[in-house]
Structure 1
Amino acid sequence: MNAEIIAVGTEMLLGEIVNTNAQYVAKLLARYGVPSYYQTVVGDNPKRLASTIELAETRSHLIFLIGGLGPTPDDLTKQTLAQHLGISLKTDANALAKLTAWQQQTQKKMPANNLAQAYYLDGGEPLKNQTGLAVGSYLSKDDHDYFVLPGPPREMLPMVDHEVEPRLARLAGRQQIFMSRMLRFFGSGESSIADCLADLIDQQRNPTIATYIKDYEVGVRLTARADSEEAAMQLLTPLITEVKNRLSEYYVGAGEDRRVSDEVVRLLKEKQLTVTAAESLTAGLFQATLASISGASEVFPGGFVTYANGVKEQLLGIKSATIEDNGVVSAKVAEEMAELSERKLSTDFGLGFTGVAGPDELEGKPVGTVFIALAMRDRPTIVAEYHFAGERNEIRGRSVEAGLKMLYDQLNNK
């Protein structure tokens, strides 16, 4: 059995949105050992969609169609597939009740074409939409299995998790599964990390190893193939340990979508500690990064954006003589920014960021020169000097990541 993914929507062809849905489905297929050789994006055109489905049927057993289930005239995926298969559409009573309840709650008249969102393929099964109104559909017919799913990710992802995966598990039977673990590192380049793991990469069979650039971090994905999740994990565990041991200096956590900022907030919450910051070149980016994470208010009470020298004096109390004697881009200023912010808000940690983001040098220091200080209650302040490459916002982003890594290391007692 092999699978094919068809994403429906002219907006993807125009570059207005990115097709992240196909990636999500592809990962699910990989977990169940179902090969997927083709992915297609087709516009909201019934004739072209029908020909795309016809082609997919010549080379794939399992066909996913994603998008085009809404109420507008160009949302015709279910209708096109039904016509292609020579079947009709039925109305799902539960989906219709949900549509009616929505109409009553919003006190809006429901257009007749809204009812199309409750349709599913006759002879198949409706797939419940937990967060939206358009019901999905599953049908097995003529040696093919079809999954028809909504396009908005907030609707599609829960449907895949709760409606598609159980059915896919039955279809996949005893086929091998693929299990992956992503380890994340900061402070070393991808080539250096690959070099450190060169012997493991050269010897790889099962599990396999691959490195990726993930924003300002480097990801190392380890993937095992086995008959069960337990067997795959047994293959992965010793390799995970070995990779983490070799690169422990740079390790910042695990997970496809988890960043070092997620790990920092988690550790602060676990240890019941708090952090603040005073930012110059990053202009609040460090604090915004923390605050973007759910639950950050428990560990981050607030901080300071002190872009101008006068504001550093006014808000933090840094003496003008300190800046005049050392320069604003200096270890001393970063140190005082960190210490004074920590004292003013009585937090366990305080970070200070100062540097040259560009495009021009400052005080004779080249673009990319950055000083970051970490003040800690009852412990000496740490100050680090960095020289980052890249454009202005890349330097600011790398500075934030470096500050987070300093804090992460202290929280892990490194």
Structure 2
Amino acid sequence: MRAAQVVRQLTERGETLAFCESLSAGLASATIAQVPGSSAVLRGGLVTYASDLKVALAHVPQEFVDEFGVVSAEVAAAMAKGTRLVCDATWAVALTGVAGPDSQDGHPVGEVFLACAGPEGVEVIRAENDTSVQALCEVESATIKVLSGQRNEIREQAVECALQLLLDSI
């Protein structure tokens, strides 16, 4: 349902969308592409599962990766900003985090950072498996659910949360 809302709203506004996906590995783009008429808004995206591709394709500064790690608000924001420019889109949404089954670099399964870059700047939110959602950067209150479950459930929830973040931003 959120995907159809995204397509409808962006179509009405004459705006476009791109994704930079790590843990979701293309699922967000595919979710939008399932909606009839999505070609009017979906520019494309980057699947940057590997850390070096975040730097090479999405223009995330290597210093961000080194200092904050790929599962961070700073890297998520840079992924979204870089993808917006690379894909020449009005909006870009980035997803990075840990889907499991194991923790990664001290980050628990279900910890996810989502970023939305648009004409007015970037918003980043953080979701965790066992705690309430914490707002970061300019997001005052996020209406997204806590991520939990198995690997693919976390990936699907991350996509739904990312689409909600986009809807809240446009």
- The normalised TM-score by structure 2 is 0.87
Give the SS at the match of 2:44.
coil
**What whole-Å deviation, never above 9, does each CA across 1:219-256 have from its counterpart, x for those lacking one?**
xxxxxxxxxxxxxxxxxxxxxxxxxxxxxxxxxxxxxx
Aligned to 1:275: 17
Displacement of 1:359 after TM fit? 0.5
Displacement of 1:319 after TM fit? 2.5
Question: Within the alignment, does 1:353 sit opposite 2:116 as a pair?
Answer: no
**What whole-Å deviation, never above 9, does each CA across 1:256-311 have from its counterpart, x for those lacking one?**
xxx11111101111111111010000001000000111111110111100000111
Aligned to 1:384: 125
Once residues 164 and 72 of structure 2 are traced to their aligned partners in structure 1, the CA distance between those partners, rounded to angstroms, is: 20
Question: Within the alignment, does 1:409 sit opposite 2:168 as a pair?
Answer: yes
Once residues 293 and 344 of structure 1 are traced to their aligned partners in structure 2, the CA distance between those partners, rounded to angstroms, is: 24
After superposition, where does 1:310-389 map in structure 2 within 5 Å? 310-377=52-119, 379-387=120-128, 388-389=147-148
- Structure 1 segments, 4+ long, off by >4 Å, are none
Aligned to 2:4: 262
**What whole-Å deviation, never above 9, does each CA across 1:331-367 have from its counterpart, x for those lacking one?**
0000000000001122110111100000000110110
Once residues 60 and 79 of structure 2 are traced to their aligned partners in structure 1, the CA distance between those partners, rounded to angstroms, is: 7
Question: Within the alignment, does 1:288 sit opposite 2:30 as a pair?
Answer: yes
Question: Can you give the 5+ residue segments of structure 1 that lack an aligned partner in the other structure?
Answer: 1-258
Task: Tell me the number of residue pairs that the alignment of Structure 1 and Structure 2 aligns.
Answer: 152
Superposed CA RMSD in Å reads 0.9
After superposition, where does 1:36-51 map in structure 2 within 5 Å? none
What code does the residue aligned with 2:121 have?
P
Aligned to 2:156: 397
Checking the alignment, whether the CA contact within 8 Å between 2:59 and 2:78 is kept in structure 1 is: no
Once residues 102 and 115 of structure 2 are traced to their aligned partners in structure 1, the CA distance between those partners, rounded to angstroms, is: 23
Once residues 63 and 169 of structure 2 are traced to their aligned partners in structure 1, the CA distance between those partners, rounded to angstroms, is: 31
Question: Can you give the 5+ residue segments of structure 2 that lack an aligned partner in the other structure?
Answer: 129-146
**What whole-Å deviation, never above 9, does each CA across 1:13-69 have from its counterpart, x for those lacking one?**
xxxxxxxxxxxxxxxxxxxxxxxxxxxxxxxxxxxxxxxxxxxxxxxxxxxxxxxxx
Identity of matched residues, %:
41
**What whole-Å deviation, never above 9, does each CA across 1:179-208 have from its counterpart, x for those lacking one?**
xxxxxxxxxxxxxxxxxxxxxxxxxxxxxx
Once residues 340 and 322 of structure 1 are traced to their aligned partners in structure 2, the CA distance between those partners, rounded to angstroms, is: 13
Checking the alignment, whether the CA contact within 8 Å between 2:116 and 2:169 is kept in structure 1 is: no
Deviates more, 1:363-372 or 1:308-317: 308-317
What code does the residue aligned with 1:308 have?
A
Once residues 63 and 121 of structure 2 are traced to their aligned partners in structure 1, the CA distance between those partners, rounded to angstroms, is: 23
What code does the residue aligned with 1:316 have?
A
**What whole-Å deviation, never above 9, does each CA across 1:95-132 have from its counterpart, x for those lacking one?**
xxxxxxxxxxxxxxxxxxxxxxxxxxxxxxxxxxxxxx
Once residues 151 and 87 of structure 2 are traced to their aligned partners in structure 1, the CA distance between those partners, rounded to angstroms, is: 30
Give the SS at the match of 1:301.
strand
Displacement of 1:320 after TM fit? 2.1
After superposition, where does 1:95-134 map in structure 2 within 5 Å? none
Displacement of 1:380 after TM fit? 2.2
Aligned to 2:139: none
What code does the residue aligned with 2:73 have?
A
What code does the residue aligned with 2:162 have?
G
- The normalised TM-score by structure 1 is 0.36
Question: Within the alignment, does 1:304 sit opposite 2:46 as a pair?
Answer: yes
Q: Whose Rg is larger?
A: 1
